[in-house]
Structure 1
Amino acid sequence: MTFNQRLSAEFYARVQRDIRAKMSQQGIDVLILDSNDDVVYTTGFSHYSNERPIAVVLTATTTYLLIPELERHHASAQYDDAELVVYFEFPGRDPAFAVLARTLGNLKGTIGHSFGMSNGRVAQIQRAFPNARMAATSLVSVQRYIKYPEELVLHREAARISDSMVNAGAELISEALRTGKTMPTEIEIENYIISHALETMQNEHEDIMYVAGIAGGLVYSGLRSAFPHGMPTAHRPQRGESMILSLGCRVGGRAAESERTFILGEPNAEQEKFYNLSQEAQAIGTAGLQPGATCSSADDRALNFYRDHGVFQFCPHRVGHGMGVMFHEPPWVEGGDETVLLPGMVCSSEPALYVPGLGGFRLADTVLVTASGPESLTNYPRKLDEVILG
């Protein structure tokens, strides 16, 4: 049996119904969503964002999809439960929101939009609807915090594949170390892992939702692994180095990530010290993702462990972030976010240490908050003796 990535029309109708209920509570007459992730979330229509506006428009009764002509057939093939509002081109003699205004008429109520909508686009909409009031709202981003059961099925599958991506990379590196073959470069390792993920989906899934960043991550080793977001290079990993495989994918437009640090050959005392501290901090970070706790408290628990052990100077970032349609989205598992964690939220747990002149030590898991506590959806081995390659 194959895994179907596509969510049903009934699912998107439920999402839109729940959004409309919140619109009514906030006094929003029309909601315009123009970010790629909000469009995917509300309709399942996946596209490459560019200068041409694409937006989901929800009124109290109707869903419209504002698209340029070149996306007409693409949109119809993916999602046919919205009324299409089609403009020809951008910037256009007949601009996109002028076409929308002729469809909706002379609005005099409140038009809601996300806080992430650009000021320029807000101004375009205001010009098209001069008698309406524009209002930023977080209602959709907050709704996205807690996943529907159908979304969690996708997150679990994305987590499974993310773990398999880490495994594929580790096996490739191990083989080179064991056999004495030329070690592939970081770029070659990354390409091999991405191909593995895409082939897994091709062989095991149907109706794949192709999205930007469907599979990928960071592959970097040696002294450069001390950079939190080091990019792959032509460097060939060597014995004695630490190496980070930071990998993830999106299944049905829902994200997961799995990340491990490997030691190539026997670790030295410093590598062993910092790896064990990082692993323990990550376990503390995961344990902090308890229902009823705050994102801030979960962050404090893990980072205070680093402070207590005198290594906080090597920790330049938070414990984690929310995941959903995007790899990074609210809530933020960080000291400045007092969001209360609730069952159904999906977050990363990834406090890490980056030691100049030695390397990086970073583990990351995709974690589901449940009523009984945190559940790690990614489960690649994490003990030191399990991540030694060669």
Structure 2
Amino acid sequence: MTFSQKLPGAFYAGALGRVRAEMSAEGLAAMVLDDPLDVAYLTGFHHFPNERPVACWLPLDGDPVLLVPDLEREYAADQGARAEIVAYPEFPGVRSPFAVLAGHVRAPGQAAYAPSTSVARAQALAEAFPGTRWSASNAVGRVRLRKLPEEIALHEEAARIADAMIEAGVELVRAAVEAGGDLPTETELASHVISHGSSLMYAGHTDVVVVPMLTGGLVYGGPNSAQPHRLPGGDRLRTGETFMLSLGCAVGGRFVESERTFVIGEPSPRQARYYEAVREAQETGTEALVAGTTCEEANRRCLKVIEEAGLAEHIRHRQGHGIGLGFHEPPWLSDGDATELAPGMILSSEPGVYVPGHAGYRISDTVLVTESGPRRLTAYPRELTDVII
């Protein structure tokens, strides 16, 4: 049985309708979305972002337009982009890409671009549409916060693969320990789990949507793991130390992450103390992901567990972040984000402690907020006894 990563046309029709409702409430006649993730959300066109603008023109009434460079025209058509395709010759070109767009659409009185649109592109839009009043709007971002069932199915499949990547990494290390030879280096382990995830996807899926990080993540051992976003290097894992598998993948462009910290050999009292503090914080923080709770309150409850364990000095980051088309996207489980959690939101729950010269400890699950409470999409075991190799 194969799994299709393509979303049905009804999904895109619904997405356009929800964004248009936000636009109407703001008095907008049109929007120009040039964020690659917004473009994918509204049209289904995933592309390699570069200096050449790719944008979705979304009028309040009428069909959307997908603006692409000529080199992307056939590819957009092959992907079945849910919009009229308008191509410009090249960038920067004799005419601005947005001037080409202006020649194909009716200039609105009031329009908006996304908050992420660069100053240069905003200026180009103003020049191409001189009679239009422009502002920034987060209409698409607000709609993207809550995932629909079709998207959730993609996240669930990605979670299955991410957990399988964790298991593949554990099996590689366990086999090396049992053989009594050299343990793998961080890069060897990273290469193995990434390859495993990609192989699973291509073996079982049709219409694989290739995004910049189809499968990937961070792999580091011992003192290296005390640097939360350190990249894998040539150091070998060592018996008696910990190592971290911080992995993720995207199915249909929808991401998940699954992260666990492992101990090679019997954990020391120090290792057990740090691990249990993080495990309890992650449990508390995940339980707090309930509709109506604010992001900052969930974060406060989560990190309080680490603080009460006497490890506040080893906190380096918030509880987590939203996940969707972006690997990191709003809302933020952090102080300062008063967003109320709502059913359909998907977030990471990933507290950690980081002890320089010793190790880092982090556990992350991808969690769906539902009407009845939080539901973990990733499911690799979390008890200390489960992470001893």
Gaps of 5+ in 2: none
The aligned amino acid for 1:153 is A
Tell me, in whole angstroms, the C-alpha distance in 2 between the residues paired with 1:30 and 1:181: 63
Is contact 2:216-2:248 (8 Å) kept? yes
Deviation at 1:17, TM superposition (A): 1.7
CA distance in 2, matches of 1:321, 1:108: 36
Task: Find the aligned partners of 1:342 and 1:293 in 2 and give their Cα distance.
Answer: 8
The alpha-carbon deviation at position 12 of structure 1 amounts to 0.9
- Secondary structure of 2:262's counterpart equals strand
Q: Which residue of 1 aligns with 2:259?
A: 259
Q: In the TM superposition, what is the alpha-carbon distance from 1:184 to its structure 2 partner? A: 2.0
2:69 counterpart residue number: 68
Counterpart of 1:131, as a letter, is: G
The correspondence of residues 3-82 of structure 1 with structure 2, limited to 5 A, is 3-59=3-59, 60-82=61-83
**Correspondence list, 1:83-98, <5 A:** 83-98=84-99
Q: How does 1:57-206 map to 2 (within 5 A)?
A: 57-59=57-59, 60-105=61-106, 107-206=107-206
Aligned residues: 388
Counterpart in the other structure of 2:269: 269
How far residue 208 of structure 1 moved from its aligned partner, in angstroms, is 0.8
Which of 35-44 and 316-325 deviates more?
Answer: 35-44
Q: Is residue 96–residue 124 contact of structure 2 (8 Å, CA) maintained in 1? A: no
Measured on the aligned residues, the alpha-carbon RMSD in Å equals: 0.9
Q: CA deviation at 1:36?
A: 1.1
1:136-187: CA deviations, max 9, x gaps? 1111111011111100000101111111111111111111011123322111
> Under a length normalisation based on structure 1, what TM-score does the superposition of the two structures give?
0.98
Q: Report the counterpart of residue 243 of structure 1 in structure 2.
A: 243
Secondary structure class of the residue paired with 1:134? strand
Corresponding residue of 1:332: 332
Cα distance in 2, alignment partners of residues 227 and 81 from structure 1:
42
C-alpha distance in 2, partners of 1:97/1:25?
26
User: What is the CA–CA distance in structure 2 between the aligned matches of 1:312 and 1:127, rounded to whole Å?
Assistant: 52
CA distance in 1: counterparts of 2:303 and 2:202, whole angstroms: 40
Cα deviation 1:47-79 (Å, max 9, x = unaligned): 110000000111121110000000011100112
TM-score by length of 2: 0.98
The whole-number CA distance in structure 2 between the counterparts of 1:224 and 1:81 is 45
**1:22 Cα deviation from its structure 2 partner:** 1.5
Q: Deviations over 1:81-114 (max 9, x none)?
A: 3111110111111220010111114x24112111
CA contact (8 A) 2:30 2:108 kept: no
Q: Which residue of 1 aligns with 2:288?
A: 288
CA contact (8 A) 1:3 1:205 kept: yes
Find the aligned partners of 1:305 and 1:81 in 2 and give their Cα distance.
47
Residue ranges of structure 1 left out of the alignment (5+ in a row): none
What is the identity, as a one-letter code, of the residue corresponding to 1:114? A
Alignment of 1:310-321 (within 5 A): 310-321=310-321
Distance 1:159 1:81 in 2: 27
> Equivalent residue of 1:24, what SS?
helix
Is the Cα–Cα contact under 8 Å of residues 12 and 82 in structure 2 kept in the other structure? no
Judged with a 3 Å threshold, the aligned counterparts in structure 2 of structure 1 residues 108 and 210 are, in CA distance, closer, same or farther, namely closer
Aligned residue for 2:353?
353
Q: Distance in 1 between matches of 2:171 and 2:126?
A: 55
Contact 1:271 1:358 in 2 (8 A): no
Q: Which residue number corresponds to residue 367 of structure 2?
A: 367
1:313-354 per-residue CA deviation (whole Å, 9 max, x = no partner) reads 101100000011111000001111000001111011011100
CA distance in 2, matches of 1:245, 1:198: 16
Question: What is the percentage of aligned positions where both structures have the same residue?
Answer: 47
1:226-241 aligned within 5 A: 226-241=226-241
